Amino acid sequence: MASISTAAPQFLVSSLSDAITFYEKRLGFRCNFIYLDFYASISRDGATIHLKCAPRLDAERAHRKSGEHLDAFLPVSGIDELHAELVGRGAPIMTPPEKRPWGTREFHVEDPDGYILCFSELL
């Protein structure tokens, strides 16, 4: 029987090298590959994000931020430990870990290109 094992969002970034540096230093990801200086894959544990150097619409970024529209949802275990780690790495935390009405504790991080990542743990 066919199954889908995972998904990897693709983020448009203004500088591939700056984006890779941010994800490595601030969020603890590692670079899997770089293709022709415009495309890369980064991962941490089971999460993968693809980065593509390409123009993006600033208005779309502002709209997503104003409505708390997420770009990536990352299920985690040990959310308080992860939050403390990312704070120690200087990650730009948008919201502290908080209990949500749908049975999770979550916090959000915004990357330099305006993408919003939600780290979430089931209660």
Structural domain span for residue 108: 10-122
Per the structure, the count of domains in the chain is 1
What's the CATH number where 40 sits? 3.10.180.10
User: Which pLDDT score is estimated for 38?
Assistant: 96
Residue 99 inside a domain? The answer is: yes
User: Which pLDDT score is estimated for 69?
Assistant: 82
Residue 51 inside a domain? The answer is: yes
pLDDT along the chain (123 residues), means of 10: 88 96 98 97 96 85 76 95 98 96 96 94 96
* DSSP character string of 45-90: TTEEEEEEE----HHHHHHHHHTT--SEEEE-S-HHHHHHHHHHTT
Residue 27 inside a domain? The answer is: yes
Residue 3 inside a domain? The answer is: no
